[in-house]
């Protein structure tokens, strides 16, 4: 009954303070939409200038191969000079410049190695790597087409003509290679960790600022009554929150889901309990909402965003940061989300991550209860 009384009090407070519901239910939707549409590794409409000094069918075929990828916004020019090429890159009017030499067709006709120049703006190293990857793939496709053409035209007796290597690449789990399929499941971890921690980090500090905590301390409430009474309302809100985010990921972003919905909610329950427990611990350690919100941001959003593998691969981090990443609970939740959404992983694969999240949740709920006992004393 004591716990139910605290739960009723907390729900009454939430109903009266509409800002909590806005922050708990509307803000996650806005974050998912903003991040989902803006954070992308896909390359589209990158400006590339194509200088064709050859002006033959072979150079036109290479131009068409670049154009057909759909990743580039190509402008074809003939007023080539090296200084002009550098000027286009310097002014940002082109991310890359393709230069086809005048003897391109002649070398191909004589079965000699033909080459073209590909100048890339390396100030954005990630885009530059993607551009180079596209260029390598385009060159390989063009080279194979030329080999097939030579074999069909001259037969096996043509000099230096060899049958093209037949290779086939198959991408598992994310065959379309859409970055939103990789990013959106990670956003669920970022949003839940940030919002859940912040909600409960303000739940107790607001009692201190309003002067109602002293009254609660004189009641016959036990630590577990108070902690679970504060925890359960926000836990219910977190389930509504994660359901809303899940529906949006399906309807708006069309992200595939190949795993078990039961495992999804089990992971969400463990993760939200851990995040809510962390927020309660922060709230018990501070008496100011401003300080609590700052600590919540530093302990939830920053580690989740930077160290969980959401943006940067953990394997490429320095050894110190890599070690810290294993202390971030979102690392394991994010691994479960991507496993369920993209791979259809089951519990036999994901159980270590579930176990670590259970330990995390149990630890912070327990330590929050112990912290409140000290205050009562």
Instruction: Give the model confidence (pLDDT) of 74-84 as tens digits.
Output: 888 877 788 88
Pure H helices in the chain: 2-16, 18-21, 27-38, 57-68, 82-90, 104-109, 125-154, 179-201, 205-210, 213-217, 223-251, 261-285, 289-296, 302-307, 319-325, 329-338, 347-376
Q: In whole angstroms, give the CA distance from residue 59 to residue 57.
A: 6
Q: Are 231 and 274 in contact (CB under 8 A)?
A: no
Distances (CA, A) of 322 to 78, 301, 329: 50, 17, 13
Spatial CB neighbours of 369, under 8 Å, sequence gap ≥ 6: 223, 224, 227
- Residue-level pLDDT at 150: 65
Supply 251's token pair. 């309807």
User: Which residues is 98 bridged to in the sheet?
Assistant: 50, 118
Ranges of each domain in the chain = 2-40+178-376, 46-154
Q: Are 279 and 198 in contact (CB under 8 A)?
A: yes
Distances (CA, A) of 266 to 108, 260, 353: 61, 10, 12
CATH superfamily of 46-154: abc type-2 transporter like domain (3.40.1710.10)
pTM of the full predicted structure?
Answer: 0.75
3-state secondary structure of 118: strand
Measure the CA angle with vertex 201, ends 198 and 202; round to 5°: 95
Is the dihedral angle over the CA atoms 57, 105, 142, 154 positive or is it negative?
positive
- pLDDT tens, per residue, the chain with 377 residues: 677 877 777 777 777 777 777 777 788 888 888 888 877 766 677 888 888 888 888 888 888 888 887 778 888 887 778 888 888 888 778 888 888 888 888 887 777 777 888 888 877 677 777 788 888 888 877 777 777 766 666 655 555 555 444 445 566 677 776 778 888 888 888 888 888 888 888 777 776 766 666 566 666 667 677 777 778 888 888 898 899 989 999 998 888 898 899 999 999 999 999 998 888 888 877 777 777 778 888 888 888 888 888 877 887 788 898 888 888 999 999 999 988 998 888 999 899 999 999 999 999 888 888 776 545 44
């Amino acid at each position: 009954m004591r716990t139910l009384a605290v739960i009723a009090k907390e729900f009454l407070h939430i109903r009266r303070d509409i800002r909590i519901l806005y922050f708990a239910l509307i803000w996650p939707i806005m974050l998912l939409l903003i991040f989902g549409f803006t954070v992308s590794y896909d390359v589209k409409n990158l400006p590339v200038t194509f200088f064709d000094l050859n002006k033959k069918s072979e150079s036109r075929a290479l131009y068409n191969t670049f154009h057909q990828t759909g990743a580039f916004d190509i402008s074809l020019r003939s007023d080539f000079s090296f200084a002009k090429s550098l000027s286009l890159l310097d002014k940002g009017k082109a991310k890359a410049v393709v230069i086809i030499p005048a003897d391109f067709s002649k070398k191909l006709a004589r079965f000699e190695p033909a080459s073209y120049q590909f100048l890339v703006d390396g100030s954005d190293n990630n885009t530059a790597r993607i551009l180079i990857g596209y260029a390598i793939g385009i060159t390989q496709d063009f080279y194979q087409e030329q080999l097939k053409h030579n074999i069909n035209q001259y037969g096996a007796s043509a000099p230096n003509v060899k049958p093209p290597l037949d290779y086939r690449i198959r991408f598992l789990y994310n065959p379309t290679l859409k970055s939103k399929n990789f990013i959106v499941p990670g956003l669920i971890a970022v949003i839940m960790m940030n919002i859940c921690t912040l909600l409960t980090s303000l739940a107790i500090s607001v009692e201190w600022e309003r002067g109602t905590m002293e009254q609660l301390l004189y009641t016959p409430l036990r630590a577990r009554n108070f902690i679970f009474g504060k925890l359960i309302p926000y836990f219910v809100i977190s389930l509504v929150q994660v359901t809303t985010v899940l529906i949006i990921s399906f309807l708006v972003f069309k992200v595939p889901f190949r795993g078990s919905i039961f495992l999804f909610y089990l992971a969400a329950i463990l993760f939200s309990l851990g995040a809510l427990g962390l927020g309660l611990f922060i709230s018990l350690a501070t008496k100011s909402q401003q300080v609590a919100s700052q600590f919540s941001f530093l302990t939830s959003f920053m580690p989740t965003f930077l160290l969980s593998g959401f943006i940067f691969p953990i394997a490429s981090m320095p050894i110190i940061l890599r070690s810290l990443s294993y202390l971030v609970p979102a690392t394991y939740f994010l691994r479960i989300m991507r496993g369920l959404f993209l791979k259809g992983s089951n519990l036999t694969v994901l159980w270590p991550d579930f176990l670590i999240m259970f330990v995390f949740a149990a630890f912070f709920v327990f330590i929050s209860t112990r912290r409140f006992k000290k205050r009562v004393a």
